[in-house]
Amino acid sequence: MTLRLNRGPSRTVLLDVDGTLCDNTPRLIEYVKAECGVALTREQITEWSFSIPGTELDIGDLLHRAIDERPEWFLLGMEPIDGAAEAARWLSQQGHTVRIATHRPAESHPITAQWLDEHDVPHDEIIDDVPRNKGRLAGDILIDDYHVNVKNALAAGKAAGLFVQPYSDPAVCGEAVVAETWSTMLAELGRIHPVTNGD
């Protein structure tokens, strides 16, 4: 099912944060270097169980540790993904409800709220406790960068959009809109750019 969001009715849009609104990978790479002395590249992180060479830790463990130990440094230092703030604004302007659906621990939500405000990302709510299966959340469409979440949303009868990342697998997200940028994602969901006069 493809959803068009450029016309009514009002929908509830579930938006992921990491890898969808903000680019968490550079900070994570910096943290892994500081903690383990290992220099990773973005392309190496092809799954969240990726083991850090020479350690018994995987990248998912390190991600949770960074949020636990240095939440402000880790989360506030992330850059927004190009077009993310504009996308959330457009969704709000179309009359949709924007619910933030992240698997970050609930204790870190005030920091996420601060980040969203600092980067002008409008939202109606940060969902407190997001179940492993995001398909269980109330909403009409999930936009996320992790194929498992998108697959769960589709299985629950929602529409979905998947951002391509080294760790995401579009092959299991058959009916989802698959995009590399917010510009493409929103064009697929019905945003039409106004014609300009070239100025």
**Residues catalogued as catalytic:** 16, 18
First to last CA, the chain: 37
| Signed CA dihedral, 110, 116, 122, 123: sign only | negative
The one among 11, 13, 15, 16 contacting Mg ion by CB under 5 A: 16
Q: Does residue number 145 form part of the binding site for Mg ion (CB under 5 A)?
A: yes
Site for Mg ion, residues 97 to 116, rule: CB under 5 A: none
Closer to Mg ion by CB, 16 or 140: give it: 16
Our measurement of the distance from residue 124's CA atom to the centroid of its chain's CA atoms, rounded to an integer in Å, reads: 16
The helix/strand/coil state of 18 is: strand
Of 44-52, 78-86, 145-153, 166-174, the segment contacting Mg ion by CB under 5 A is 145-153
Using the structure block, give the residue that is written with the tokens 């220099």. 39
The one among 5, 13, 14, 18 contacting Mg ion by CB under 5 A: 18
DSSP secondary-structure letter at 172? G
Closer to Mg ion by CB, 16 or 23: give it: 16
Distance, in Å, from the CA atom of 171 to the CA atom of 69, rounded to the nearest integer, reads 35
The one among 5, 11, 19, 88 contacting Mg ion by CB under 5 A: 19
Binding site for Mg ion (CB under 5 A): 16, 18-19, 145
